[in-house]
Amino acid sequence: MPNNVFGQALTPCCFKPVTGYFRDGYCRTGKGDTGTHTVCAIMSEAFLEFSQSVGNDLSTPRPGFDFPGLKPGDQWCLCLTRWIQAYHAGVAPKVVLEATHEKSLDLIDLQELIKFAAR
């Protein structure tokens, strides 16, 4: 099992809806994951609106992809660069650190992530 940002075993982010690049509930990354889906984030209205405004509509259900659409309070594995983009725009969602993959530390400092800790 991969590690989280604390160097401990990565915990699941969400199973309802099932999230993660591999759709296994974990924010883990691997070959083919060009978006680096490593940040376990708790959706907020501000973030969902921002994401839609930059071309990634996470709110609209897409039954063909078994995607129910996200609402505030849902947890989801975000692309690391999208979270950073939202951070710079002042709308970064809260983060579940135990479920956020250590690869996230390649681009964001742990102390900054801790400021957005959900728990």
Give the span between the Cα atoms of 50 and 47, in whole angstroms.
5
How far, in Å, CA of 33 to CA of 64, rounded? 21
Residue 96 tokens, joined: 């579940």
Q: Quote the radius of gyration of the chain (alpha carbons, Å).
A: 13
List, for the chain, all residue ranges whose pLDDT scores fall below the cut of 70. none
Q: pTM to 2 decimals?
A: 0.94
The closest of 59, 105, 60, 61 to 83, measured between CA atoms, is 105
- Please state the φ and ψ torsions of residue 107, each to the nearest 5 degrees: -125, -10
Q: What's residue 13's pLDDT?
A: 97
Predicted pLDDT of residue 65: 82
Task: Spell out a b/e string for 7-35, using b for 16 or more CB atoms within 10 Å of the CB, else e.
Answer: eeebbbbbeebbbbbbeebbbbbeeebee
